[in-house]
Amino acid sequence: MVGAILQPPLFRGALLLVLFVAASWTAYRVMNRARSIASQRQALRAIGADSAVASSPDLVHRRNKAWARLVGLVEQTGLSLDDSKPDALREKLASAGFSSPDAPRAYTLLRILLIFLLPTLTIGSMLLAGVQFSILGLYFVGAFTAVLGLYIPALVVRIRADRRMTAVTNGFPNCLDLMLVCVEAGLGLEAAFDRVGREMAEAEPLVSQLLISTTLHLRAGASREDALRRLAKDSYVSEIRSFATLVIQSDKLGTSIGTTLRIYASEMRERRRMRAEERAHRLPVIISVPLILCMLPTMLGVLMLPALINVIRHLIPAMTGG
């Protein structure tokens, strides 16, 4: 009965239209994001850090305007999108790079939409392909895709957070070396942050954004301790937290910032080298699994097959008297 309802050409055309609109909207968002990133990098190179960061909220606002409007429309119907633990969710999204105030509500809305949209598209596509379902099969497919739609956003956020943390961790030692050069050349810490943030906008955009944001907080009147603690909080990386703590203690005790940066830069380079060596030492263990599963049966077959043929041809007939 369900198959008879969903088979008419009208439903097929409507489903194809929905898929076309979804693909077009996704392509538009990807192109818009790429255009925004390109314009932001061009502004960083041509205009400088101040005007680039001043235009950054506009870029973020335009990028999140559609989600904010959709969230507002949904909440006007009476559906609350507030999470039971908003601080934890906001921190998790911020660690993945989603720092918009509407990010937690948009995240909740996306999960709700995927719970209904993913089963509908999956079952509709399979019915159009001619797959016949029983009621029990329809239930299991719908339940599985609904659970998948519920956990896909969380998985994407976790992957983005891990990639962002890895990028910041690997890129900060290079920025720290350049910062040491600036400080030893006579620049202050604020000017060094500004210079390194502008110079590393292309090579390390995430670290550059953190440094430029710290520079703006310092210029806005925040103390050096507050700006560095804000840097440590926004980075979500243990190395930058240790760096901020070290600079704050060095500033309070009156020691040389250049000496502090030189020692910590050396330690971070050593940590990066140790991480690379750890990954290199893990490679034989990781490679051994596909070797055992794929190559070992083939090698055993090649080595034992001639002996097995000889046994079948000569030994077994001799033992049976054939």
56 pLDDT more than 50: no
pLDDT at residue number 5: 44
| 240, 231 contact by CB (below 8 A) | yes
Which residues are CB-contacts of 62 (< 8 A; sequence separation ≥ 6)? 36
Class of domain 168-274: mainly alpha
- Residue boundaries of the structural domains of the chain: 168-274
Give the model confidence (pLDDT) of 86-119 as tens digits: 677 888 888 888 877 777 777 887 888 888 888 8
Q: What is the pLDDT of residues 183-232, one digit of tens each?
A: 888 888 888 888 898 888 888 888 888 899 889 988 888 888 898 888 88
pTM of model > 0.75: no
Determine the pLDDT at residue 35: 65
Token pair for residue 127? Answer: 């019915």
Q: Which two tokens stand for residue 123?
A: 């079952």
Average pLDDT over the chain, rounded to whole? 77
Residue 98 CA neighbour count, 13 Å, CB half: 23
Upper half-sphere CA count for residue 255 (Cβ side, 13 Å): 12
Q: What one-letter code names the amino acid at 245?
A: T
Residue 264 has pLDDT above 70, yes or no: yes
Structure tokens at 63: 């990028």
Instruction: Convert the pLDDT of each residue in 116-138 to its tens digit.
Output: 888 888 888 887 877 777 888 88
Q: What are phi and psi of 314, to 5 degrees?
A: -115, -50
Give which of 114, 115, 118, 127 is closest to 12, Cα–Cα: 127
Query: What digits encode the pLDDT tens for the residues 164-195?
Result: 888 888 888 888 888 888 888 888 888 888 88
- Say how far residue 136 (Cα) sits from the centre of its chain: 37
Question: Is the pLDDT assigned to residue 256 strictly greater than 70?
Answer: yes
Q: What is the C-alpha separation between 105 and 111, in angstroms, rounded?
A: 10
Q: Which of 70-74, 213-217, 311-315 has the lowest mean pLDDT?
A: 70-74
